[in-house]
Amino acid sequence: MKSNTIAIAISYIFNASFYSIYLLPIFVDLKDIFSIALSIIFLGIMPIIFIVIQSIRGRIDMFVSQRKERPKYFIPALIGYLTGYILFSLLNKSMLALYHLTYFTVTFTIFLISFKWKISVHMAGICGPNTFIILTLGEKYIPLYLLSILVGWARYRLKAHTFLQLFMGGIIAIVVTFFTVIYMR
């Protein structure tokens, strides 16, 4: 049972919305409070606000475990990511704009897949941003991929996903992020 408690904690700590915020200090000046605040809204709050509300009301669990329930909860995230991309583009903050765009393209891809198949958003939420950081800031960040082992273990331990769903969540995020960054640079 203790390993389930640890797996649950890992699942909450490395939620895709939270992880997007954890990485901001790597490439955003912490004195740029405006950009950080906007990023927290678009990357951290908008993607999960309706999930939190519906979870509190007892309509879904926090991880939206049922595949058929998932698609509608991607919409606020997609709106947040796209809004962030547009706003940061207009503000000439190209790194933040691209970061938001990669979140949009990965999430849109997973949104489409989720109509037919359950895929790990947790793994996508680790592998996509890590790929972005590595492609834009260098290979020294490759060890961040080790977090995917931890998160994958947690989601598998909780029986939230099969190995294939975990693997595909990570691979799709890596590939979509790679092509988004390469195309937009």
pLDDT in tens, 4-25: 999 999 999 999 999 999 999 9
Which amino acid type is present at position 73? Y
What is the model's pTM? 0.93
pLDDT of 50-90, one tens digit each?
888 888 998 888 877 787 788 888 999 999 999 999 999 99
12 within 8 A of 63, measured Cβ to Cβ: no
Interior CA angle at 62 toward 178 and 98, to 5°? 25
At residue 1 the predicted structure's pLDDT band, cuts being 50, 70 and 90, is low
| CA dist., res. 84 & res. 20, Å (int) | 13
pLDDT of 152-185, one tens digit each?
999 999 999 999 999 999 999 999 999 999 999 8
Question: According to DSSP H, which parts of 23-145 are helical?
Answer: 24-27, 33-39, 49-56, 70-90, 94-113, 121-137
Q: Whole-number mean pLDDT of the chain?
A: 95
Please give, one letter per residue, the 3-state secondary structure of 86-103. HHHHHCCCHHHHHHHHHH
Q: How many CB atoms lie within 10 A of CB 137?
A: 12
| CA dist., res. 148 & res. 143, Å (int) | 10
102 within 8 A of 180, measured Cβ to Cβ: yes
> pLDDT at residue 34 above 90?
yes
Interior CA angle at 19 toward 154 and 5, to 5°? 30
> pLDDT at residue 98 above 80?
yes
16 within 8 A of 124, measured Cβ to Cβ: yes
185 within 8 A of 95, measured Cβ to Cβ: no
168 within 8 A of 122, measured Cβ to Cβ: no
